Every structure is written in structure tokens, then in C-alpha cells.
Amino acid sequence: MKKAIYTLIFGIAASYAMADDAVPTVATNADAIALVQTHANFLWTLVAAALVFFMQAGFAMVETGFTRAKNAINIMMKNLMDFSMGTFFFWAIGFGLMFGASSTGWFGTTGFFLSDWNPVDGDPWILAFWMFQVVFAATAATIVSGAMAERTKFIGYLAYSAVLSALIYPIFGSWAWGSLLNGSGWLEGMGFIDFAGSTVVHSIGGWVALAGAIVVGPRLGKFDKDGKARAIPGHNMPLAALGVFILWLGWFGFNPGSTTTADTSIAMIFVNTNLAAAMGCIAAMITAWIMFGKPDIGMSLNGALAGLVGITAGCANVTPGSSMIIGIVAGILVVFSVVFFDKIKVDDPVGAVSVHGVCGAWGTLAAGIFDMGGFSASVVGVQLVGILAAFVWAFGCGFIMFKIISMTIGLRVTPEEEMEGLDYGEHGGTAYPDFQKASHM
């Protein structure tokens, strides 16, 4: 009985295999392989987008840990709203400006409200690509939060977040990345190298953060009567450290995910990303140890982030050895940069300007210096043009925007609200009710 069943099954399978429409051919195999690759690209891009989204949690924890307990709710709210506001305004305006068709190379003019896609016969890649890009836009927006922490009005911050997501970030992004979809930017036309956004994401966020920190002014008590900076310790360094580890993990979506392709090229990008972060952390620790006499946790954490920001531009076009050099320089640079901004009385509670603005510029320059294709003065020149353009655009627009916000709806809370903490003044609560109660007894 069993033999008869096996014979029948084998006969049916053999007959099907001999049918003309079931015989594999080179063409049908190629089509199948291409389909599998397409599906893999979608999957990898969306998984990477999820990793980058998780970086929002990392930024929130870093900023909260580096600042005082009385402002924890406010900081969590700002990071929450950066992504929520950013999602809406990037969908409505920013994505079209960044990746829509462009005849000038300055900004896109199509694709607003995701109008380039329709549910009947639209290309689903646009949806996957939009999802990957919106988490980048949110990253640029949330960088600013740390530099303006503990003294900024919530409504003024919401206005800033909308403008950056809708206009400032996407317009510069169109200059460097427009051709990734339907656009064509003037910077990328020159050969500008910024694979995953040392300048497009990090320096843009960092330079807007610098403008915001200048306009809003330093926190009360940050500088003494002689102008010397006072330390205002963060309330939870373990939370900040957890945030950095989350960001480190998220960067494995940020950099390798920028291929938007599931292929072997992501292996080197993973290695470069990790090496730069590790060397940045080590270099910052040693530099701070020499300068301050102790291996400072805050500087070490920012050193890891500095290395990650630094390698983001060149992660796909430098060798692992070069990525280590890039990370080391970034780790040293971030320590000196934090000290410099303190000396010129720019109060940046988390070092956002130094990590993202300064080290983003370094990483963009390094992508040209250490290019595996060989050193070229013209390539380095283009990199410098992009770095300068980013500073002028982001800082200039940011300064004007924050001045307008300050003169209209207001940018800074009252001294009384700042002393009491933004959690009470802006949100009517506290993140640590038992602790807060005990501190007032």
C-alpha cells in the first residue's frame, strides 16, 4: 500500500516537473533572485529604520541623565514631540522638499503629503524609503533639545521642531541627497561625500543647536560673576550611559542601513562604525584623564558618540584602519570643544554642539581625506564647501528662527520656573514625586 502511494506521488511530481511551464530557465531563475533581493532590501531598510527610531530613546536617556531631576518630564516630552511633530511635518512638507523632483538643485517641488504614491498602483518602495528618512529627520531635530535643555519654553520648542523638520533639515538634505529618489542637489552634483549624514543630519542639528543655545542664553548659575563656568552635574549618569549604548546600537541601523540594500557591503560599514565609536570613547577618556585628573564618565560617553558621528559620513568609503583614526580624532576633539564652548559662555548641558556640530564637520572632512579611492585635494575642497554651506544655512536659519520665536510666543521660561524646574512650570508634575517630596521636607 505504501509503495503504491509513493509511486503515485512520485509520478505526479515527475509529470509536473516535465511540464513546459514548470521547467526552470535562466530567465525565471533571474526573476526569482531579483524578487528575493527586492524583498530583502525592503526588510533590511525597514529593520534599519526601526533601529534608528530606537535612537530616540537613547537621546532621551542621555539628555535626561546629563541634566537635573526637576526637568526630566520636560526633556522626555521634547524628545517624544520631536518625533511626533517631525513625522507630521516631514510627511506634509519636508519629504517633498528633500526628495521631490528639482530643476534647480536647491529643493524639491513634488511629493508633498506622499502624493507620489497611491494605494492602487504606487511603488511601495516610496513608503519604505519615507520611513527610513523620517527617522533621520527626527534625529536631526532631537539633537537641539540637549543644547537648550532646562530653560526653554515648551511651546517655543514645538515651533522650532516643526520648522526644522519641514524646512531647515530637508532643504539642506536635498542639496546632498536629493538624487536618492527624484531630486538632484547641487552639492551632490559636485561630488560631496556624506554617506549617512555626518553633516546632513548631525552638523545641521548641531549648528541649529548652537544658534538656539546662544539665543536662549545660559542656565541660571552656569557662569559665576567672573564668567567662569560652573559644573551643573546631571542627576543620573547610569541612565545617560544606557542611552549611549542604545544610540551605539541604533547606529548599526543608521550607517549600514543607509545602503538601503541587503548585500555584503554592510559588513565593512558595521566594522567601521563600531571601531570609530570604541576609539572615540578611549581617546576622550584619556584626554579628559590628562586634562582633569580623572577618567570622566560624561566625556567618555560623549567620546563614543563623537566617534559615531565622525564615521557617519565616510563609513562606506574608508578602511577600518582609517575609521579608527577618525574616531580617535573625534574623541580628542569633543573634549576640547566642550571646554571651548564653556569658555565663550555657550551653555550646552549635554555637549550636543560639540558632538554633532563639530565632530560632524570633522567626519565630513575625514571622508574626503581618507577616501579609499585615494587622496584628492579637489574632493577635500568639495567637502569643505559642504561643511561651510551647512554651517551658514543651519546656524543662520536657526538664529533667525529662534529670534522670531523669542519675540513672539517666547523662547525662555521665567527665572522662577527655571529654579523650580520645568516639570512643574510646563507640565504640572514631577518625574520623581517621592524624591521631590523628600527634598522639600
**0.85 exceeded by pTM:** yes
pLDDT (tens digit per residue) in 34-63? 999 999 999 999 999 999 999 999 999 999
Tens of pLDDT, residue by residue over 225-266, are: 989 999 999 999 999 999 999 999 999 999 999 999 999 999
Is a pLDDT exceeding 60 seen at residue 163? yes
162: number of Cβ within 10 Å: 19
Does residue 66 form part of some domain?
A: yes
**CA 325/CA 332 separation, integer angstroms:** 11
Structural domain count, the chain: 1
- The reported pLDDT for the residue numbered 115 is 92
Q: Is residue 439 part of a domain?
A: no
Measured CA to CA, the distance from residue 370 to residue 330 in angstroms comes to: 14
Per the domain annotation, does 130 fall within a domain? Answer: yes
Residue 290 class from Cβ within 10 Å (0-12 exposed, 13-18 middle, 19+ buried)?
exposed
For 275-290, what is the mean pLDDT?
98
Q: What is the pLDDT of residue 252?
A: 98
Position 15 scores a pLDDT of: 46
The answer as to whether 201 is a domain residue is: yes
356: cell is: 554633532
* Cα distance between residue 268 and residue 266, in whole Å: 6
Full 3-state SS string of the chain: CHHHHHHHHHHHHHHHHHCHHHCCCHHHHHHHHHHHHHHHHHHHHHHHHHHHHHHHHHHHHHHHHHCCHHHHHHHHHHHHHHHHHHHHHHHHHHHHHHHCCCCCCCCCCCCHHHCCCCCCCCCCHHHHHHHHHHHHHHHHHHHHHHHCCCCECHHHHHHHHHHHHHHHHHHHHHHHHHHHCCCCCHHHHHCCCCCCCHHHHHHHHHHHHHHHHHHHCCCCCCECCCCCECCCCCCCHHHHHHHHHHHHHHHHHHCHHHHCCCCCCHHHHHHHHHHHHHHHHHHHHHHHHHHHCCCCHHHHHHHHHHHHHHHHCCCCCCCHHHHHHHHHHHHHHHHHHHHHHHHCCCCCCCCHHHHHHHHHHHHHHHHHHCCCCCCCHHHHHHHHHHHHHHHHHHHHHHHHHHHHHHHCCCCECCHHHHHHCHHHHHHCCCCCHHHHHHHCC
- Predicted local distance difference test score (pLDDT) of residue 48: 98
Beta-carbon count within 10 A of 126 CB: 18
Q: Is residue 8 part of a domain?
A: no
Asked if pLDDT for residue 330 goes beyond 60, the answer is yes
In a domain, 184, yes or no: yes
Pair 291, 335: CB distance under 8 Å? yes
Q: pLDDT at position 399, please?
A: 98
Position 3 in a domain: no
The terminus-to-terminus CA distance of the chain in angstroms comes to: 88
| 359 pLDDT above the threshold of 80 | yes
Examine residue 352 and state whether it is found in any structural domain, yes or no: yes
At 436 the pLDDT is 54
Q: Are 363 and 311 in contact (CB under 8 A)?
A: yes
Looking at residue 14, what is its pLDDT?
A: 46
Of 16, 59, 258, 259, nearest to 145 (Cα)? 59
**The domain that contains 94 carries what CATH number?**
1.10.3430.10
Which structural domain, as residue segments, surrounds residue 318?
26-427
Is a pLDDT exceeding 60 seen at residue 368?
yes
Residue 261, φ and ψ in degrees, nearest 5: -140, 130
